[in-house]
Structure 1
Amino acid sequence: MEAPPPPSLSVVVPMFNEETVIPALVARLRPILDGIGMSYEVVAVDDGSRDATARMLVEQRRDWPQLRTIRLRSNSGHQAALTAGLRRAYGDWVVSMDADLQDPPEMITEMVAEARERDLEVVYAVRVDRSADSLFKRVTAGAYYRLMRRVIGTRMPAQAGDFRLLSRAAVEVLRQLPERSPVYRMLVPSLGFASGSVTYTRERRAAGDTKYPVHKMASLAWQSLADFSAAPLRVATWLGSVAFVFCLILIVFGLAAWAAGTVIPGWTSLFLAMLMLAAVQLICLGLLGEYVSRIYAVVQNRPSFHIAYDSAAPDGTPVVPVPRSAADDG
């Protein structure tokens, strides 16, 4: 049986415990894609949900043949689920978006038009109004983007998350990279593809609770920094230098006291010096350990996720459509 031609557009939607938002997502996303004038697929990646997300996706797929479901064996994280979707998306253009409808699907039409009109490989959806988010979220997000732009430069658009459009060429480059735990909001700008942006107002979550609490936001910030900069190691070097200078001062002070014949108990200064040096050493070892752990993970070369089911390939074997050029020639 001849393989079908690939769709023109793939929309990758990672999901984790999103049973309450799926009906609203489908009701809003499907009319937009049906009217976009392109063949499409929606790749919903169930990231090991513990609620009825998997069952609801199966039910929705009965009436929506373009909906494709991929289920991971366990919860592997948002970026891993996004990676699974990107690697198995077939479209000439691939849009990634969250399921919570804070990123309006209506922007997909504008992103595709922008890419075609300006011959772009990447189109970022940039948030210009985050008033729907809490003050804490706005402050921490602003600090994150300022820090990351200092790390990789202004190629990273401010306030651009994982809502973006990628060409097939960009997706293929991402698939070939050896990144085990990619942070796409940092990785994509670093590749230097011709890019543009569209702006939108971030909306409130349609239903359910956020899947990015404080500890996950902190983890994302650290992973972004450690994956794209050696600055933390330089911090360790500076801390060691400061500790060395402090020790020299103590040595001079001790020699002066000895020359003056002054007897100083000294236990307080010794105690404080030992505490400071021990703290600096532990900080440096911790920073080195973080980078060594990344090297260890790369050497192990273990996959960051395992796919249990793909509705396009129920037996586990990926179905590779005929490339569009070949389909057109035949």
Structure 2
Amino acid sequence: MSNEAPRLSVVVPVFNEEAVLPLFAERMRPVLDGLRMGYEVLAVDDGSRDCTPAVLDGLRRQWPQLRVVRLRRNSGHQNALTAGLRRARGTYVVSIDVDLQDPPETIGDMVRLAESAGLDVVHGVRTDRSTDSAFKRWTAGLYYGLMRRVAGTEVPRHAGDFRLLSRTAVDALAELPEQQPVYRLLVPWLGLPSGEVTYTREQRAAGRSKYPITKMVRLALDSVVGFSAAPLRVATWLGLLGIAGCAVLAVAGGAAYLSGNVVPGWTSLLVAVLFLGALQLLCLGLLGEYVARVFTTIQGRPAYVVTYDSGVEQQPAEDLLCRL
């Protein structure tokens, strides 16, 4: 690989995508070759357990601009994206998923817009999500509505991790001490000149989604906790509401006692105890999310470990053995 920095880097997180990788390369390579600029494609293998490493090595032999970065274990989509962004050398860096739901042909529009308008960020915004399920569309709308309230209205609606960043934006992100980054919120937070390119979301080219409901919930939780102290304030308000409710019950109980209209039973007492117990557990859980993040930051452990990078001339002996 040439030591000269390319004009464009494309970062592609990959996890167990042996079925879609040949289709991705077949569609992506003509698009990038047609841009008539130096480029590299960083496929970040996020600890795949299928034949993804072997497929990537096979593609790299036929595609000189393909660069494989392999993580020692599965570290998550956002951390794989971090590994790619920090190793990308291009003046512009585009991040895109490998499933081809975001069309590679849009990359040219992003580059032209960034160059003509002098932008540091170009978001890919989905205007048509009819290929997604109704549940997916509903949860996405709920997520982006919540994020705009938490992180500000500058967060584009229906903009995922398909975006273009200038070298200025990439360097600014690298300086942030985030342990659990959520780039769809971090990038708008930078406040750099930005624009949008719209596109129609397509169906997954092959394989199955690697982003189940559990990961979507985790992303939403990381987004809220990482960008706002609102959950802690919610816990405070729930506590005040519980105290107010108990005060009302106490007044009502005293009035019933004085009037002699007391109905013996334990149901109301049990409901009150369960309600207060659940309230306390909820508040402790919210507090625990913040404490866990402080604990992780203090530990200072790396969010990911790179075991191999085909773009580096000299590899440690241990890393060379990891090649398939």
TM-score bracket for this pair, using the shorter chain length: over 0.9
Give the CA deviation at 1:130.
0.7
Give the CA deviation at 1:138.
1.1
Q: Determine the structure 2 residue equivalent to 1:215.
A: 214
Q: Determine the structure 2 residue equivalent to 1:304.
A: 303
Give the CA deviation at 1:262.
5.1
1:60-114: per-residue Cα shift (whole Å, max 9, x none)? Answer: 1112111100000111111110000001001010000000000010011000000
Would you say 1:101 and 2:122 are equivalent positions?
Answer: no
Q: Determine the structure 2 residue equivalent to 1:241.
A: 240
Give the CA deviation at 1:255.
2.6
Q: Is the 8 A contact 1:226 1:232 kept in 2?
A: yes
- Give the SS at the match of 1:127: strand
Counterpart residue identity of residue 126, structure 1 = V
- Looking at structure 2, the residues matched to 212 and 263 of structure 1 have their Cα atoms a distance apart, in angstroms, of 55
Would you say 1:190 and 2:189 are equivalent positions?
Answer: yes
Counterpart residue identity of residue 41, structure 1 = E
Q: Determine the structure 1 residue equivalent to 2:127.
A: 128
- Looking at structure 1, the residues matched to 131 and 157 of structure 2 have their Cα atoms a distance apart, in angstroms, of 17
- Give the SS at the match of 1:95: strand
Equivalent residues in 2 for 1:6-21, closer than 5 Å: 6-21=5-20
Equivalent residues in 2 for 1:107-256, closer than 5 Å: 107-256=106-255
Count residues with an aligned counterpart. 315
Give the CA deviation at 1:231.
1.5
Give the CA deviation at 1:254.
3.0
- Looking at structure 2, the residues matched to 114 and 85 of structure 1 have their Cα atoms a distance apart, in angstroms, of 23
- Looking at structure 1, the residues matched to 232 and 151 of structure 2 have their Cα atoms a distance apart, in angstroms, of 17
Pick closer, same or farther for the CA change 1:154–1:263 going to 2, 3 Å.
Answer: closer
Would you say 1:268 and 2:267 are equivalent positions?
Answer: yes
Give the CA deviation at 1:266.
5.2
Counterpart residue identity of residue 308, structure 1 = T
Pick closer, same or farther for the CA change 1:264–1:136 going to 2, 3 Å.
Answer: closer
Counterpart residue identity of residue 102, structure 1 = Q
Structure 2, unmatched stretches of 5+, are 317-324
- Give the SS at the match of 1:192: coil
More displaced 10-residue stretch of structure 1: 268-277 or 18-27: 268-277
- Give the SS at the match of 1:85: helix
Give the CA deviation at 1:59.
0.9
More displaced 10-residue stretch of structure 1: 263-272 or 176-185: 263-272
Runs of 4+ in 1 over 6 A off after TM superposition: none
- Looking at structure 1, the residues matched to 305 and 81 of structure 2 have their Cα atoms a distance apart, in angstroms, of 13
- Looking at structure 2, the residues matched to 314 and 140 of structure 1 have their Cα atoms a distance apart, in angstroms, of 44
- Give the SS at the match of 2:237: helix
Counterpart residue identity of residue 34, structure 1 = D
- Looking at structure 1, the residues matched to 133 and 268 of structure 2 have their Cα atoms a distance apart, in angstroms, of 46
- Looking at structure 1, the residues matched to 298 and 259 of structure 2 have their Cα atoms a distance apart, in angstroms, of 58
- Looking at structure 1, the residues matched to 162 and 215 of structure 2 have their Cα atoms a distance apart, in angstroms, of 18
Aligned-residue identity in percent = 61
Q: Determine the structure 1 residue equivalent to 2:24.
A: 25
Q: Determine the structure 2 residue equivalent to 1:278.
A: 277
Q: Determine the structure 2 residue equivalent to 1:65.
A: 64
Give the CA deviation at 1:270.
2.0
Give the CA deviation at 1:140.
0.9
Q: Is the 8 A contact 1:12 1:86 kept in 2?
A: yes
- Looking at structure 2, the residues matched to 157 and 6 of structure 1 have their Cα atoms a distance apart, in angstroms, of 31
- Give the SS at the match of 2:124: strand
- Give the SS at the match of 2:238: helix
More displaced 10-residue stretch of structure 1: 26-35 or 96-105: 26-35
- Looking at structure 2, the residues matched to 84 and 230 of structure 1 have their Cα atoms a distance apart, in angstroms, of 28
Counterpart residue identity of residue 169, structure 1 = T
Give the CA deviation at 1:265.
2.7
Counterpart residue identity of residue 178, structure 2 = E
1:240-267: per-residue Cα shift (whole Å, max 9, x none)? Answer: 1111011111221233234335555353
Structure 1, unmatched stretches of 5+, are 318-330
- Looking at structure 2, the residues matched to 112 and 122 of structure 1 have their Cα atoms a distance apart, in angstroms, of 10
1:118-157: per-residue Cα shift (whole Å, max 9, x none)? Answer: 1000000100001111111111111111111111222111
- Looking at structure 2, the residues matched to 142 and 316 of structure 1 have their Cα atoms a distance apart, in angstroms, of 45
- Looking at structure 2, the residues matched to 194 and 241 of structure 1 have their Cα atoms a distance apart, in angstroms, of 42
Q: Is the 8 A contact 1:308 1:316 kept in 2?
A: no
